[in-house]
Structure formats: C-alpha cells, structure tokens
Structure 1
Amino acid sequence: MAGSQEGGYPPAHALTDSEVRFLVATIQGDHTDVRTALQNRGDVDVTCTDTMGRNALLLAVQNGHINIVKTLLQTDECELLHLEEALLVAVAKNDLRIVDVLVKAVYDDRLDDDDDEEDRRISRASNSQFPEEMTATMLAAQLDRTEILNILVTRGLRVPNPHDYLCSCQVCHDNRSSDSFGYARRRLNTYRALTSPTYISLTCRDPIARAFHLTEEIRKVTTVEPEHKEEYRRILAKLETFVTELLDHCRSKDEMAVTVGGGEGEKWHKTSPGVGRLQSAVQCNQKKFVAHPLSQHCLQQMWHYRFPTWRQLGWVLKLLVSVGITLTLPVLALLYWIMPTGKFGKWLKTPVVKCIMYLASYVAFLVFVCLVTVEKLTAPQLDNMQPAIQAILSCIFQLFQSLDVMFCTGFLWQEVKQLYHMRWTWYWKSSPYKVIDLLSLTLYITHFVLVYVLYYFTSRAGDYFKEQDRTTLLRNKDAVATLHLYHLVGDRPQWNSGDPVFVAESLFAFANVLSFLRLGEFLVLNNSFGALSITVGKAPFSIMKFLLMLLLIAVGFLFAIFNLYFLYSGNIHITR
C-alpha cells in the first residue's frame, strides 16, 4: 500500500498486494515489474481496477507507456480490458503511437470499407467518461486530430450519417421513446464530427459541396431541435469559416475555376467563369463565401466577360451606352431573334447587357401602364373632339393596352421558364420580389380578362337591341332585356358597387402599385442603395411583430373594458 501512495495513486480497496503493485507499476511505467507480474500470475488479475474503475490498460494509455500497452495486448484477457475505451482515451490524449497499436489490435486490416464503425466496437467501460455513441473516429474528428483521423479513415472507419429526424424506422422510434434528449445529443455529436474540417477533407472528394450539403441538413435540424440551437449555430459558423478559408488557398485560375465554378476550368479561359458553386452558396446562405474577394472577382468576371470595357467607363459613358441600348431595344431584340448564336447574339447575352435590356423593357412597360391610365383620365374629353381625332386616339390607346398585354404575357412566360429550370423552393428563395411578381401578374391578367369579358357582353348587348325593338320587354321589366341594357348604360352612378368594371379598375390600380415597387430589386445594383434595400427589406418583419404585440394588448384592453361596462349598456344617458 505504501508503494501505491508513493506513485501518487489513491489506496486501492479489495485488491491484493500483488494487484496493487501491478497497477502502481503500470502507472509508473515499470515495464519489468508489469511483465514479471503477468508471467507469475499468482493472485494477480489482469482485469483488476482501481477505485475509479480504471484497469491496467487504461492506466498505461493515460500515462503514455506504449511498451506496457503492447505487453497487455498480448495477454489472453486483452478483450476484457475495454479496448474501445482505451482507444478513445488515446485519441483524447493525441498519442499517435498508442492509437496505432490499439487500432491494429481492435480492428482487423481486412475489414471492408462499407462497414460502419458501430459494428466494430469492442466492449466499453461501464463508467466511461465518453458518451455511449462516441467512437474513435467521431472523437478524432471533433478534436481535429489529423494524423489519428488519417489512420482511422485509411482503415475504412467512418462516422455514420444520422437518420432523418422524422425517420420511422424501429431504431429511431425506440430511441425517441426511451430517451429523446439522448437521441438529440447523439445527433449533435454526430454532426460535430461530420462537420470537422479535417474529416471532410479526408473523406470527401469535394469538401465544399459536402459542407454545403451539411449546412442544409443542420438548418433543418435546428427547426425541430431548438434545445441545441446555439450548438448548431456554432457548427454552421465553423462550416462557413472552413469553406471560406479554402478560397484563400487558390493560387491559379484553374484552382479558382474548380473551387468557385465547380470544375468548369475550360469556361474560365474561353468564355466566362462558372458560377455553379456560387449559386449553391447563395442557396445555402453562405454569406462569407459569397463575400470573399475571390468570389466577388469571379462574379465581376462573369458580369462583364464579353463587355470588359464596361468597368473602365465613367458614369457619363455608362449612361450614354444604357440610353443607346434602351432606344435600340426593339432592333436588338429582332437581331438576337435572327442570329442568337452569332457573335453579336453572344454579346447580348452578357449579364450586364441583359440587365440593361431587362431594366429598359420593364421601364417601358411602366410607361405604357401610365399611358393607359392617362387614357382613362382623358376619356371624358374625347366626346368633345372630332370623330377622326377620336378614332386616332382610341387606336393609340388600344395599342398601348395591347402592348401591356404583350408585356404581361412575356413576364408570365419568364416566370414559367424560371420555375421549369429551378426547384420550387429555390424559386422562392432566389428573390424576395417573386411574390410581388406573381401577385402583380395575377392582378394584371385578371384585369385584362375582365376587360375583354365586359367588351364581349357589351357587344352582345348591342347586337341584342339591334335585332328588333325591345321596348316592350323593357317596359315589362324582362330580366334578359334589363341585363343587356345594364351593359349598355355608360353612366357610372347607375352601376352596382360590385360592377366588374370597378373590380377590374381596382385590380389594375393595385397591380400598378406592385409594379412600381418591383423597381426596388434593381437598387441592389448600387452599393449605397443595395445596403439600404436590404435594411428596409428586414424592417417589415419587425414592424409586423410589433403590430401583433400591439394588437394583443388592444384586444386585452377591449375585453377588460367590456367586462367593466357591459352591465351598464342600457343605462347610458348623455346630458348636455
């Protein structure tokens, strides 16, 4: 017992003197005494433990005595020494030599790569300091032990992917029923290992794509496991930092194309840099990755790749070029329709030119909308003009309305194409103005349908009264004749409040408001207005939350006032 106290180890209970000397020799690294005790067994039990439940193998691993570890692994009782627990301790202490020895003892070199580490576990100590689900690979990945993780991964050991949270298999159902918090904790530990930069780099051919995929998975988990929300946020921040730091290691255009463009190296040299990776980064809300100077450089290259002189132009020349493109927009559209694959057609596909053309066409659409509104304002004055002028002005206003219909048809076709080429979820995430687009298009289309339906009813009513005299039917208040007469009456005060004309005009007015709001999307092209638009875009959510709280308070006060005064509702007298 004195020897154990000299070695700094607490006195052992229910141990023989030989076992105490055996454990003390293990702690002190006395290989000769340990080997002698194993050869002359006597009353020495190899699996004996100290008061803290640690056997000789765990003590040797904790103190870094590799020779003693090798000697203990050669005994017949080595499988009873909690090899998995010893391996976890060696990984935690970052002792590469002992890990290599234990891995050879625990795992057969001929194991298939497809086997999960869960099937290779050896016994664990009952008082283990590690969670039940923890494996050597998981621990090495969480601690970023690069060399140790390389040894484990080389032998085919992987961290098993967690099941979906809504998985209905029997194992997940039993885990959720027996210990829901432990089930959530196991998922958290698994994601901590899966998101390790070292583990991703060693096990994935495309670390950035893997990081983006894990980001989407973890964001879904945070919505159903809010108790670990802060831990998952730290994991997401680590992933974002990892993929951003990978960009700092790009040294050439080829590496830049592979990292940012997703492997489109040929396009980088001949046409434009690929932006597949950037699109995925936007979908996963990887702000640091997108804001990185390398990503911004690639975006600039893509934005001007067939019009490089645009960046060198001053604001005056840029304005003149934009006005020129706007004025020649119909001609440019016709030329592109004739030769879309020619050199000029490819120049028109340059994103900066496409942006100018789209902005010009949208502004033209708003101008035609305003002209249609002017036609409604000047409609009463047309009666006082000459018939020839009335006919000309009517044709012009009908042309404007027809152009509005054509623009709306084109915008609708554009949205259909975007839905076809995008996923439904990404379509909504691509721009916060998609709701405004669909709503304004719906209102415009409904307006035009109502206008043409009313035109049809008016024409049919005119034909109805031209066929024969309907005076008798009108005097008898015939329902059909009265309805046709209603469609011919042009006096607004005689119309019903729910008349289709009023509905169509209301829809058209609301659609015009949304169309002008749609111009806010182009503010992001400017550095100053872009930041302002983002700030303003976040404000409505805060305002809605404040109004909701205000509404709850108002409702509470209303009920309180009602409870106080409802008994006196019939006894209120106003005196003067």
Structure 2
Amino acid sequence: MLGVDWSRHCGRHSGESAEFSPDISPVILAATCNQFEILQLLLSRGATIERPHQLSCGCDRCKQLVRDDSLRHSLLRINTYRALASPAWICLTSSDPILTAFRLSWELQRLASRENEFKEVFVALSQQCRKYACDLLDQCRSSEEVIAVLNKSKSADDDPQLPPQQPPVESLSLDRLKLALKFEQKQFVAHSHCQQLLTTIWYDRMPGWRKQPLAVKALMCFGFVLMMPVLALVYVLFPRSRLGQLMRSPFMKFLNHSASFAIFLVLLLIASTDWGAFKRPKERYMVRGPPPDLVETLILWWVLGFVWAEMKQIWEEGFQAYVRQWWNWLDFIMLALYLTTLALRLAAFTLARTGKYGAEPQSRLEWPVMDPTLLSEAVFSIANVFSFARIIFLFQVNEHLGPLQISLGCMVIDIAKFIFIFYLVITSFACGLNQLYFYYAQDHNIRNDGFATLTNSYQTLFWSLFGVTNRRDVIIQSASPTTSTSSGFGEGRTTEVVAELMLLTYHFVAIIVLVNMLIAMMSSSFQNI
C-alpha cells in the first residue's frame, strides 16, 4: 500500500477520494507537501515512489495506462515528478542531493520541450530543482565548504572530509561546477558563493588587484604585455619560481592570450594593407605563387600555435565537451580557412617553381578564374572576417559587454527563425512575378531582366528591401530604344498592373510586417537577457 499498489487498493476498497486521485499515494502527498517528519516515517516503513518510465516507453503497463485513460496517465507522471522534485524527498533519499537536483532539472527541462501541453508545470518543477541546489550552496559558511561542494565528483564519497586549509589553485578540480555548466544550471553558477570563489581563483597571486585604480590596472597590463616575451622565457626556464607561478594564474593567462591575439590581428591588418616599412613592391601583386614575406611567415607561426592550442584543449576537455561550445566551432572554422589558405599558397608556389604558369609577371585580369593564388586570397579574406569576429568572445569578461554578447547570440537565433518565414514569402512572390515575365523574356526583342528567371526574381526582390531596385523594373521595355510595349491598356499593360500590385503587396508584407516583427523579436531577446 505504501508503494505503487496504493491506487489499486484505493480503487478496490474505498473508491476515489474527494480530494485526491487514487494515483496520489501517501508518500507522494507527503513529498509534494514537503512534510519531512511524515515522509521520514513512511520511508522507515518501506514506502517507495516508482520513477516514471520514459515518454517513449513501449512496455505493456505504459500501453495499458495510455489505452485506459491518457490524461490520467499524464497526471500520474506529473504528480510523481512533483514528489521526486520536492526538497524533502531529495534530502531523505539521495546521497548526493546537488547531483540529483541537477539531473532531475535537466530531465524536467527536456520533458517541457517534448510535452508541450504540460510545459509550464515541467518548467516550474525544473526551476524548483535549480533553486533547491542554490539553497544548498547557500548553506556554506566558509571557503573550505564551498570548495568541498564544487570539488565533489560523481565518484567521491558521500560524506567527504573538509580539507584542513584551502588548497592551492592547481588542486581545484571544480568537477561539480563543470557538471553545473554541462546541465546548464545558470542559477547555481551565478550564485554569489560560487562567483566569489571563481574570482579568487581568477586573481590568484594578485590579491590586491581589484582594489587598484583603473589607471594603475591599465599601466600594469601594458607593462605585462610589453614584458610578455621575457616573462614567457622565465616561465619556460623556471616554471616553479615565484614569477613562473604568477604566469600560471588565470588572469595572466587571459592577459597573455589576449595580447597574443591582438598582435595576430595587427599582423592581419599589415598583410591586408601596406603599412610603412611593410609596403610590398607592385611587381609582387602580378606574380602568381609569390614566396611568403616576413608578415605572412609570422601569421603562419601564429596559426600553427592556435592549432596546437586547440589540439591541447580537445585532449584535456574531451571531444564531446569541445564541440558543445559554439566558440570552438568558430575557432575550428577560422583555423580551417587559414590552413586551406596555406595549402593553396603551397600549391601556387609549387606550380610557379615548376614553370607551369608560363610568362610572368602577368596582369591579374588575365589569370584563370580558379587560380590557386586567387583562391587563397579569397579564403584568406573570409578567415580574416572570422578572426576579427573572435574579439566578441572577449566581451564576456565584462559585466556590461557580456550581456550584449549573449544578446547578440540570441538575436542570431531570431534571425534564423525570421529567414525561414521570409524565405516562404519571397519564394511565393518570386514564383508569381517570374511567371508573369517569363513569356516576355522568351522574346529577344523585349528587354526585361528583373524577373526573367527565378534567380533574377529572387535577386530583385531581395535587393528591393534595401532600396537598390526601383519601380521601373515592372515596366516591359523593348530592346529597341525607339519602341515601347507599354502603351495605355494595350499589350503588356495588364502584366504591369498585376506585377506592380504584387510588388506593392510584397513590400508591405516584407518591410512593414516581417522586418518590424524581426525587430520586435530581437528586442524581446535583448530584454530577456
């Protein structure tokens, strides 16, 4: 009676209660109401709660419950999850309450996206589990206790002994914090106790940094950047020294990596333009497969260093953790483009040295379309765009710019949703206008290219959003400058009227409705962040 047989006993002997359905057993009711004493008494008598099966479960019992009453089956699952998500049940049945709360919150969040009818209920229960984990972390009274919580791993003992003193930064695994990131427990990560410890680790061996004025911080950062080659050499030779330990602090690592990437961007600017002493001779631009100069060689060394850093990150974090971060995808695309540029330059250089290019120098207008040098320059320009976009990643260390960066990512998702709807609208009008002008395009004496083909129709409608096209695109014009096919209501006039009405409707739907809808979506995402 204290377990899964309560509903059968109730239905067989006393019928349904006026207050509770037969699916709500005493242990479920006690857990839902957070009655610790009653729940503890029931647990001591062997009371249990059977965990709901997966939503896609095809066992005989689940099939029978769905056939009998699908609504009652769904309510049974919800009532069971209410009991499982209660703080009383987690405290009295789990040896690792925080881990249990993380997993249950993640499961409830997934159920909310699959069972849309009860989405609000599952979201509320998921939020309750997240709050419970934060309430447990809120009970910590010292840094040692916070470290004990955040360092706990899934294989650790149920009752770990607190360390006698705060361990050094190198021994902090923060497995529980990494698990919170994996399960997207934002409230837990943003908790003041967690953030205070992370700040302490971030400014390790620089305890008074946060109290310094902004001007002093800027001067010290500038000095560290200038001394970076010397400090790096000292770190390589004497890694255990005091200066070497300072270089191992997260803040110094971040400062050095940021400075290195800034120098890399400066090299890209020099390679893309002609600056002073780095100005290249004009004959170089007319040679296919030119040898690399000093700036390009330095860029190559930086790219190889970035590739080595990404390989180390994959080795340390694991491939699955690496691909879950979108910024790693941006780094991968950027480095892949640079390596493709290197391969094309090597191919062009080899062809030039084997004499397969013919006479040189030669005007660029006479080069083949698929020349390796031209292809390498095109890929290199795309890689530069990704490199400068990588600066946005640094915004997350600032409390003012960080929300803007997150909002930008959410707005990209809004734009993707908008593009799907916009594609349907522009396709419908492109097909309609192309059908009107397709017949006139077959006549070689008629000059009307705006909607002659489906591709041209797409281009004309797209650029019309930005005011590039004009109203005269719907007028049917003769190839002869002295002949016009549009006169009164004669030939071509009906087509022009219908096309003008369709173009007017397209502008109304696309610009007035869809574009303003996109602005509203982006504003909503910004406000939520």
TM-score by length of 2: 0.72
Distance 2:418 2:77 in 1: 36
1:542 paired to 2:428: no
Match in the other structure for 2:331: 437
- 1:163: Cα distance to partner? 3.2
Gaps of 5+ in 1: 1-83, 85-105, 107-116, 385-393, 462-483
* Partner SS for 2:204: coil
Contact preservation (8 Å) 2:7, 2:24: no
Count of residue correspondences: 429
Match in the other structure for 1:406: 301
- 1:304: Cα distance to partner? 1.2
- 1:487: Cα distance to partner? 8.6
Match in the other structure for 1:151: 41
1:299 paired to 2:198: yes
Match in the other structure for 2:280: 379
Q: Evaluate the alpha carbon distance shift between residue 415 and residue 179 of structure 1 in structure 2; reply closer, same or farther with a 3 A threshold.
A: farther
* Partner SS for 2:149: helix
Residue number among 433, 449, 452 corresponding to 2:346 in the alignment: 452
Match in the other structure for 1:556: 428
Q: List per-residue Cα deviations over 1:269-288 (Å, max 9, x = no partner).
A: 13246633333223222222
Distance 2:183 2:358 in 1: 57
- 1:187: Cα distance to partner? 3.1
* Partner SS for 2:280: helix
Match in the other structure for 2:208: 309
1:128 paired to 2:22: no
Distance 1:188 1:448 in 2: 58
Q: List per-residue Cα deviations over 1:378-404 (Å, max 9, x = no partner).
A: 4344679xxxxxxxxx99x63432332
Distance 1:423 1:174 in 2: 43
Q: Evaluate the alpha carbon distance shift between residue 549 and residue 243 of structure 1 in structure 2; reply closer, same or farther with a 3 A threshold.
A: same
Which one has a larger percent helix, Structure 1 or Structure 2? 1
Distance 2:16 2:186 in 1: 41
Contact preservation (8 Å) 2:143, 2:197: no
Distance 2:215 2:146 in 1: 34
Contact preservation (8 Å) 1:271, 1:305: no
Residue number among 313, 319, 325 corresponding to 1:418 in the alignment: 313
The one-letter amino acid paired with 2:369 is: S
Residue number among 82, 107, 117 corresponding to 1:192 in the alignment: 82
Distance 1:567 1:400 in 2: 56
- 1:199: Cα distance to partner? 0.7
- 1:223: Cα distance to partner? 3.0
Contact preservation (8 Å) 1:304, 1:310: yes
Match in the other structure for 1:225: 115
Q: List per-residue Cα deviations over 1:66-102 (Å, max 9, x = no partner).
A: xxxxxxxxxxxxxxxxxx4xxxxxxxxxxxxxxxxxx
Match in the other structure for 2:379: 507
- 1:558: Cα distance to partner? 3.2
Distance 2:92 2:113 in 1: 30
Distance 1:379 1:177 in 2: 79
* Partner SS for 2:166: helix
Q: How does 1:22-37 map to 2 (within 5 A)?
A: none
Larger RCO (CA within 8 A; separation ≥ 6): 2
The one-letter amino acid paired with 1:164 is: Q
* Partner SS for 1:124: helix
Match in the other structure for 1:214: 104
Distance 2:205 2:312 in 1: 24
Contact preservation (8 Å) 1:137, 1:149: yes
Q: Evaluate the alpha carbon distance shift between residue 218 and residue 331 of structure 1 in structure 2; reply closer, same or farther with a 3 A threshold.
A: same
- 1:436: Cα distance to partner? 1.4
- 1:307: Cα distance to partner? 1.5
Match in the other structure for 2:54: 164
Match in the other structure for 1:526: 398
- 1:308: Cα distance to partner? 0.9
Residue number among 247, 254, 262 corresponding to 1:348 in the alignment: 247
Q: List per-residue Cα deviations over 1:479-535 (Å, max 9, x = no partner).
A: xxxxx2449664322211121211111111110111011011111222221222222
The one-letter amino acid paired with 1:270 is: P
Distance 1:488 1:264 in 2: 76
Q: List per-residue Cα deviations over 1:44-75 (Å, max 9, x = no partner).
A: xxxxxxxxxxxxxxxxxxxxxxxxxxxxxxxx
Contact preservation (8 Å) 1:369, 1:512: yes
Match in the other structure for 1:319: 218
Contact preservation (8 Å) 2:7, 2:22: no
Q: Evaluate the alpha carbon distance shift between residue 383 and residue 197 of structure 1 in structure 2; reply closer, same or farther with a 3 A threshold.
A: closer
Contact preservation (8 Å) 1:253, 1:268: no
The one-letter amino acid paired with 1:123 is: H
Distance 1:162 1:168 in 2: 13
Q: How does 1:257-336 map to 2 (within 5 A)?
A: 257-262=147-152, 265-266=162-163, 269-272=166-169, 275-336=174-235
- 1:565: Cα distance to partner? 6.7
Distance 2:438 2:65 in 1: 55
The one-letter amino acid paired with 2:328 is: K
Contact preservation (8 Å) 1:240, 1:288: yes
The one-letter amino acid paired with 2:116 is: P
- 1:153: Cα distance to partner? 2.2
**Which of the pair has more CA radius of gyration?**
1
Q: List per-residue Cα deviations over 1:176-228 (Å, max 9, x = no partner).
A: 67765555443333222211111111111221111111122222223332222
Match in the other structure for 1:249: 139
Q: Evaluate the alpha carbon distance shift between residue 569 and residue 503 of structure 1 in structure 2; reply closer, same or farther with a 3 A threshold.
A: closer
The one-letter amino acid paired with 1:504 is: S
Contact preservation (8 Å) 1:371, 1:400: yes
Contact preservation (8 Å) 2:283, 2:361: no
The one-letter amino acid paired with 1:231 is: V
TM-score by length of 1: 0.67
The one-letter amino acid paired with 1:358 is: H
Contact preservation (8 Å) 2:347, 2:372: no
Contact preservation (8 Å) 1:458, 1:487: no
Contact preservation (8 Å) 1:458, 1:488: no
Contact preservation (8 Å) 1:267, 1:274: no
Distance 2:309 2:71 in 1: 48
Contact preservation (8 Å) 1:137, 1:152: yes
Match in the other structure for 2:94: 204
Q: Evaluate the alpha carbon distance shift between residue 383 and residue 550 of structure 1 in structure 2; reply closer, same or farther with a 3 A threshold.
A: closer
- 1:175: Cα distance to partner? 5.2
Q: Evaluate the alpha carbon distance shift between residue 564 and residue 402 of structure 1 in structure 2; reply closer, same or farther with a 3 A threshold.
A: closer
Contact preservation (8 Å) 2:303, 2:335: yes
Contact preservation (8 Å) 2:36, 2:88: yes
Q: Evaluate the alpha carbon distance shift between residue 168 and residue 326 of structure 1 in structure 2; reply closer, same or farther with a 3 A threshold.
A: farther
Contact preservation (8 Å) 1:264, 1:274: no
Match in the other structure for 2:322: 427
Q: List per-residue Cα deviations over 1:15-64 (Å, max 9, x = no partner).
A: xxxxxxxxxxxxxxxxxxxxxxxxxxxxxxxxxxxxxxxxxxxxxxxxxx
Q: Evaluate the alpha carbon distance shift between residue 550 and residue 441 of structure 1 in structure 2; reply closer, same or farther with a 3 A threshold.
A: same
Contact preservation (8 Å) 1:268, 1:274: no
Q: Evaluate the alpha carbon distance shift between residue 158 and residue 409 of structure 1 in structure 2; reply closer, same or farther with a 3 A threshold.
A: farther
